[in-house]
Amino acid sequence: MAGVVDDTLSELLQYAAKVGVELTGIAPRRLPGRGYGIVAMRDIEEGETVLVVPTRALRTLATVPKALSRRLDGEVSVHGILAAHLALDDRTAGGEFAAWDAVLPTAADLDASMPLLWPAELQAMLPSAARDALSKQRAKLSRDWEGVARAKLEEMMTDDSPQLDQAKVDTPQPNRPKLDRTAYVHAWLLVNSRTFYYATPRTTSTRPQRDDHMAMQPVADLFNHTADGGCRVAFGPAGFTFVADRRYDAGVEVPISYGAHADDALLVEYGFVLAPAAANRWDEVCVDDAVLPRLAVSAAGSASLRDDLAAAGFWGRYMVDADTPAGCYRTQVALRRILCGTAWRAAWLRFVDGGGEDVEASDGARKNSPLAQSRVDDLMATCLEDLAVQARSTLAQIDELARTAIGSDSQRALLACRWRQIEAVVDQAAAQLAGTE
């Protein structure tokens, strides 16, 4: 996996050297069919520092021109301010960040991979956890864009360049390029998917929200994600360091971890999934689509069940993964509420309070109790079958969309990949419950 060097990467490395970035034993490469990545140029030993990015090389709130940050401060998140700066950046050959910007994903790249930009028909077919994540992402973007649009940032640009001109902040000038929503969304998604957590005493005091602590950094943003290990990342007053977590042989890819993310989160926030499903030990599948309808039709009445679960803090977000085929604890609580109905509600409340399956029942009665694990497992198996049917049905619908030309091939392929992952997780969980695996 040596990868390919092109002129774009050569220019990036020249830029990185000028701003003090130090690479040791690694280099960015174009990986066939995968975009860019970081590859070991020689054998690397565990504990070696492979990359140093000094503070002066970072793009943070502190590097945004004051004319811009002051106009947006209080209206827009740090994420949104960085996106505005990126969107207004001079990307011509002489631009300050031109060599860095040249390796960022293009608008076409983002359109292919980011669900935010997909047709509504494909967005509606996302798994429930991905739909929820997309809804939250869309709300964050809308708040930032509304603040940027009100600021009329085109008034801060010179006649002949989209670069910010501090001296002309309040001087209206005709024929300037405008920052439209399409360009801003592109920049916002780049910031969303390519920043690192970064905080200083000043930002921590002035911007206490964790989401506002971020920085972009050259070369480091080309590391790909792994769910297991990856280089250890640390930052301090001097900047960022990346240290090998294990030995890497020459020619292999050197990754980092973006965090303990399920594939629905990776899809919405970063535009990819880890395939096959077993590659992501953090992956999980939301079973709300199978559990919530059963709460609605339960004999106890939907309002009663929802009120009980909400009051106990257990409404929604029911998950299953490779280690919990019977569902997470939230799922176990919800399934028992369905089984208990009205007659066993008091026993369910004792269970929620930590009383086990039914501490007051005899051994014989406990076996027949709706709180019994065997009863819960049977109901979970039925829910898993419903999800398997949903996955297969959705995959068939995605194939049908190809004949109607809705979405691009890459968009549909990525969506289908996620549903195949879900199908695999659900089938594996069902087999474990049945004792066939």
What is the count of structural domains for the chain?
2
- Whether residues 153 and 70 share a domain: the answer is yes
Task: State residue 87's pLDDT score.
Answer: 92
Domain finish residue from 180, 201, 216: 216
- Whether residues 186 and 88 share a domain: the answer is yes
Q: Which of 198, 271, 241, 191 is nearest to 26 (CA)?
A: 241
> From CA 357, how far away is CA 49, in angstroms rounded?
52
Q: Which domain holds residue 370?
A: 285-434
Task: State residue 278's pLDDT score.
Answer: 62
Cis peptide before 54 (omega within 30 of 0): no
- Whether residues 332 and 429 share a domain: the answer is yes
Instruction: Determine, yes or no, domain membership for 410.
Output: yes
> From CA 204, how far away is CA 10, in angstroms rounded?
36
Q: Which of 283, 290, 285 is nearest to 381 (CA)?
A: 290
> From CA 293, how far away is CA 333, in angstroms rounded?
16
- Whether residues 341 and 430 share a domain: the answer is yes
Instruction: Determine, yes or no, domain membership for 193.
Output: yes
- Whether residues 197 and 292 share a domain: the answer is no
Task: State residue 212's pLDDT score.
Answer: 92
Instruction: Determine, yes or no, domain membership for 21.
Output: no
For 256-285, b where at least 16 C-beta lie within 10 A, e where not — what string? Answer: bbbeebbbbbbbbbbbbbbeebeebebbbb
Element (H, E) at 138: helix 128-151
Domain finish residue from 172, 187, 216: 216
Over residues 331-364, the pLDDT tens digits come to: 999 999 999 988 888 899 999 988 665 544 445 4
Instruction: Determine, yes or no, domain membership for 293.
Output: yes
Burial of residue 395 (number of CB atoms within 10 Å: 0-12, 13-18, 19+): middle
Both structure tokens of 330: 């939230």
- Whether residues 72 and 209 share a domain: the answer is yes
How far are the Cα atoms of 115, 198, 210 from residue 262, in angstroms, in the given order? 16, 23, 20
- Whether residues 201 and 304 share a domain: the answer is no
Task: State residue 158's pLDDT score.
Answer: 46
Task: State residue 328's pLDDT score.
Answer: 96
How far are the Cα atoms of 68, 144, 254, 374 from residue 350, in angstroms, in the given order? 57, 46, 50, 19
Instruction: Determine, yes or no, domain membership for 237.
Output: no
Below-70 pLDDT ranges, the chain: 1-4, 90-94, 154-178, 277-278, 297-303, 355-368, 437
Instruction: Determine, yes or no, domain membership for 28.
Output: no
Instruction: Determine, yes or no, domain membership for 119.
Output: yes
Per the CB < 8 A criterion, the answer to whether 190 and 105 are in contact is: yes
Query: What is the dihedral sign for C-alpha 268, 118, 322, 328?
Result: positive
40: left (phi over 0), alpha (psi -120 to 50) or beta: beta
- Whether residues 424 and 313 share a domain: the answer is yes
User: Residue 61's Cα: distance from chain center in Å?
Assistant: 22
Domain finish residue from 184, 200, 216: 216
pTM flag (> 0.75): yes
Per the CB < 8 A criterion, the answer to whether 241 and 37 are in contact is: no
Instruction: Determine, yes or no, domain membership for 96.
Output: yes
- Whether residues 174 and 86 share a domain: the answer is yes
Query: What is the dihedral sign for C-alpha 173, 176, 182, 188?
Result: negative
